[in-house]
A = this chain, B = another copy of it.
């Protein structure tokens, strides 16, 4: 099965394993996956939401927010700093009360 190009990387995100394909350096996809996993765990801690879909969407919103503010995900930072968590709380507190 040589029709697939790029790296096939098994990652774990929020307790589930996925096979992702990516280009570039071998660790890049793993870094992105670790970042999303970390964001989801931060969201889960802050919101106490048990719905994985909501956690994933809030994480995506938070990543987009950071990107818009010019804060790029840094693979060398393995945990969110206190400021990040505080901003997450500011933005997400009491959110996701379903309409």
- Contact among B53, B56, B73 for A64, CB-based, below 8 A: B73
Tell yes or no: A83 within 8 A of B by CB: no
Copies in the complex: 2
Task: From known contacts A4-B94, A53-B56, A56-B56, infer whether A64 and B21 are also in contact, taking CB-CB under 8 Å.
Answer: no
Distance of A24 from chain B, by nearest CB (Å)? 9
Task: From known contacts A65-B32, A73-B64, infer whether A19 and B95 are also in contact, taking CB-CB under 8 Å.
Answer: yes
CA distance A97 to B16 in the complex (A): 12
Given A21-B93, A52-B53; 19 other pairs, CB 8 A cutoff = A4-B94, A13-B57, A17-B99, A18-B95, A18-B96, A18-B98, A19-B99, A20-B91, A21-B94, A22-B91, A33-B61, A36-B57, A53-B56, A59-B60, A63-B63, A63-B64, A66-B67, A67-B67, A68-B73
